[in-house]
Amino acid sequence: MNLDVQSLRTFSRLAHSGAEEAAGSLTTLTGFDARVAVTKVEMATRADVEREFRERDLVTVHIGFSGAIEGQTVLAFDRDRAISLVDALVPGASDDPDSDLATSGLKELGNIMLGGFIDGWADFLGDGIDITTPTYVELDAGQSLQDVVDDSEFDTDGQFGAEVHDDADFGAEIDSNHVLAFRNHLETVDEEAGFYIYMLPTQDSVETIVDAAGDADDAIPVETFTSFSQMISEGAGQASEDLTAMTGIDTNVDVSRLSFVPVEGVPMELTDEARRGVVLEFSGTPSGYIAILFDPESAESVADALMPGMDADPEMRKSALQEIGNIVTSGFLDGWANSLETTIEISPPTYVDDIASAIVDPLVTELARTQDYAFLIDSAIATPDETFTCDIYALPDERELRAAFDQLAPEAN
């Protein structure tokens, strides 16, 4: 199967307008004034999606779809959010959030929101898409997405009923190690915490949409994206090892993700709280920008770890963070150069201590001069004991990255 940038844009637009429909339904039904903050097409592995679900205390409503395309949609919200929603839908039901009354309220909400989300895809494909009855699922730390799918009363006939279907076909599709996931973040005006709509189409369905939307000349085998995702994971792993070697503190890669997002959506992914770290420019195939950011406490912890027992002044702490930025960037990018058989040069680090979204704004603005969408690579390296977290954002030039993909393609075949 091949994917091209035109298809990714179409995917992004369809997912976004679907999410707007869903946000409109939410506003109508609950009075919460919701809007779509960011729509991302993630070249994710199943494990990545699972991790995101696990890390948050999410309650979810699942609806399967079949017909022109097949797959699963998931409406997820924070538990607190779910309770306030239930109260808006069925006054009084939130007194007993586990009651059937409460969960059926959420299921009905899911039915309308996800139904609206799917409609646009059916219109685009000019063919019908049926949705199944909604299933309410509470995710907990021990449950994987696979369990959820297996547990779901997945009813491909779209008939009402609570029979548990052992839908082996669907399970097998989701079981593939890479999926395209459409992640839509909805937010209400007064709160950051929001709602997420995930759409996980089967691989065959992705192919169906690519056939309808794509530009075959420009297509890249989907395995290339997988190879690239793998390369990003390895880079994050190397950066994590180097960080551990430098600080003497064990670290793990928490997140490592490749996504395709409208350029203006990138700063909106970041907080408007202060972050410290470095920004670097890299050049080669591809060139681009990288930001290594720490929250203020993490920045202090890292500087302390580098200079144990020293009463370091602010300038020394700044140098320590710059050095960390250098090390993490080299670890992160060296593997790319090897895999892509190219040289990637890295500029000296510029120290930053500013609003996180404002730090990436000039990076994205440079890219926006020549591209509407960006491949965003985001990784997080964290210590198990929460001493510090290091966020890495890399923004390669889109066309140069496509050229780099050509280098990766033969390996994938």
Partner 1 sequence: MKVYSSDRSTDQSSSKRIKVGVADYAVAEAGSTLVTSGLGSCVGIALADVDAGVAGLAHAMLPYASDEQDGDGGAGDATGDEPTDDRPAGAKYVNTAIPGLLHSMEETGADRSRIEARLAGGSAMFEFSSGDGGVGERNVVAAKTTLETYDVPLVATDVGGDYGRSLSFDATTGELSIRRAHGENHVI
Note the residues at the interface with partner 1 (CB under 8 A): 5, 9, 12-13, 16-17, 20-21, 23-25, 27-28, 33-37, 39, 187, 189-190, 262-265, 267-268, 270, 272, 274, 279, 281, 283, 287, 289, 347, 350, 352-366, 368-373, 398-399
> Closer to partner 1 at the Cβ: 15 or 149?
15
Minimal distance in Å, beta carbon 400 to partner 1? 11
> Closer to partner 1 at the Cβ: 28 or 159?
28
> Closer to partner 1 at the Cβ: 137 or 395?
395
Who's near 277: CB < 8 A, 6+ residues apart? 291, 292, 293, 294, 299, 321, 325, 351, 352, 359, 390
Minimal distance in Å, beta carbon 52 to partner 1? 22
* Burial (CB count <10 Å: 0-12, 13-18, 19+), residue 221: middle
Minimal distance in Å, beta carbon 27 to partner 1? 6
Give me the numbers of helices (H) and strands (E) for the chain, helices first please. Answer: 13, 16
Asked if 336 and 346 touch (Cβ cutoff 8 Å), the reply is no
Asked if 345 and 282 touch (Cβ cutoff 8 Å), the reply is yes
- In 3D space, the residue among 97, 75, 100 whose CA is nearest the CA of residue 87 turns out to be 97
Ramachandran class of 288: left when φ > 0, alpha when ψ lies in -120 to 50, beta otherwise: left
Asked if 60 and 53 touch (Cβ cutoff 8 Å), the reply is yes
Minimal distance in Å, beta carbon 371 to partner 1? 5
Minimal distance in Å, beta carbon 297 to partner 1? 15
> Closer to partner 1 at the Cβ: 324 or 359?
359
> Closer to partner 1 at the Cβ: 286 or 335?
286
CA distance 156 to 137: 18
> Closer to partner 1 at the Cβ: 167 or 361?
361
Number of Cβ within a 10 Å radius of residue 362: 11
Minimal distance in Å, beta carbon 322 to partner 1? 14
Minimal distance in Å, beta carbon 264 to partner 1? 4
* The pair of three-digit structure tokens given for residue 187, joined into one six-digit string: 């937010």
> Closer to partner 1 at the Cβ: 34 or 200?
34
CA distance 130 to 67: 6
> Closer to partner 1 at the Cβ: 182 or 289?
289
CA distance 135 to 151: 9
Minimal distance in Å, beta carbon 107 to partner 1? 19
